[in-house]
């Protein structure tokens, strides 16, 4: 799978960047939310005219590309409230380096557990230095969940490749 067709709110159709500029993007540690819609901001993957999300359970149809464009056009009427250096919408502990954690997770199409593990690894020692160990333990916990899922799916067989 290549780059996501779109990363944004699937209800109002605004992209992640638009929401951030409008001060409507909230970082909830392991996912992001559109504050106007109270919906997850996530990558959508295209297949023909349709857009899908992927999670641990597989692929889910969301809407057609045309529907996304329609929603986006409607949402553009919502007045923007520019916010700069907002620690909630654009926290420094996830934006250090050239690529933001969320963009990397989406670009790599990591599932929920792998994405969460990565976010905790990235923020460990940065967001709150006193909780560095706790953050890394959370990363391990998410990786263990992913391993449990894979082992369950493979029926207990070991992968040899
Ligand atoms: Zn929205």
- Report how far ligand 1's centroid is from the alpha carbon of 54 (Å): 19
Chain-centroid distance of CA 121 in Å reads 15
- Nearest to 80, CA basis, from 7, 6, 11, 12: 12
Query: 137 vs 93, 131, 134, 142, 143, CA distance in Å?
Result: 18, 10, 5, 9, 10
- Report how far ligand 1's centroid is from the alpha carbon of 58 (Å): 23
- Report how far ligand 1's centroid is from the alpha carbon of 9 (Å): 5
Residues with CB under 5 A from ligand 1 (ion): 9, 11-12, 34, 36-37
- Report how far ligand 1's centroid is from the alpha carbon of 37 (Å): 4
Both structure tokens of 67: 């529907």
- Report how far ligand 1's centroid is from the alpha carbon of 8 (Å): 8
Average pLDDT over residues 44-69: 86
Q: Do 146 and 116 meet the contact criterion of CB atoms below 8 Å apart?
A: no
Higher pLDDT, 75 or 131: 131
Burial class (CB in 10 A: 0-12, 13-18, 19+), 72: middle
Note the pLDDT of residue 85. 47
Note the pLDDT of residue 129. 84
Q: How much of the chain exceeds pLDDT 70, in percent? A: 81
- The three-state secondary structure class of 133 is helix
Rounded (10°) CA dihedral 54, 57, 58, 59 = -60
- Report how far ligand 1's centroid is from the alpha carbon of 129 (Å): 33
- With the C-alpha atoms ordered 129, 134, 137, 143, is the resulting torsion angle positive or negative? negative
pLDDT tens across 75-105, in order? 776 554 444 445 555 556 666 677 777 778 8
- Report how far ligand 1's centroid is from the alpha carbon of 143 (Å): 30
Cα separation, 52 vs 58, whole angstroms? 10
Q: Do 44 and 4 meet the contact criterion of CB atoms below 8 Å apart?
A: yes
């Amino acid at each position: 799978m290549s780059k996501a067709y779109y990363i944004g709110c699937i209800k109002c159709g605004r992209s992640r960047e638009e929401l951030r500029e409008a001060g409507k993007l909230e970082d909830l540690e392991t996912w992001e939310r559109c504050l106007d819609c109270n919906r997850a901001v996530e990558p959508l993957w295209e297949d023909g005219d349709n857009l899908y999300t992927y999670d641990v359970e597989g692929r889910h149809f969301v809407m057609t590309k045309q529907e996304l464009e329609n929603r986006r056009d409607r949402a553009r009427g919502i007045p923007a409230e520019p916010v700069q250096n907002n620690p909630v919408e654009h926290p420094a502990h996830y934006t250090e380096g050239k690529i933001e954690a969320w963009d990397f997770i989406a670009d790599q199409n990591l599932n929920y557990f792998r994405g969460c593990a990565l976010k905790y690894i990235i923020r460990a020692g940065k967001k709150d230095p006193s909780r560095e160990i706790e953050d890394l333990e959370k990363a391990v916990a998410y990786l263990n969940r992913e391993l449990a899922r894979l082992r369950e799916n493979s029926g207990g067989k070991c992968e040899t490749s």
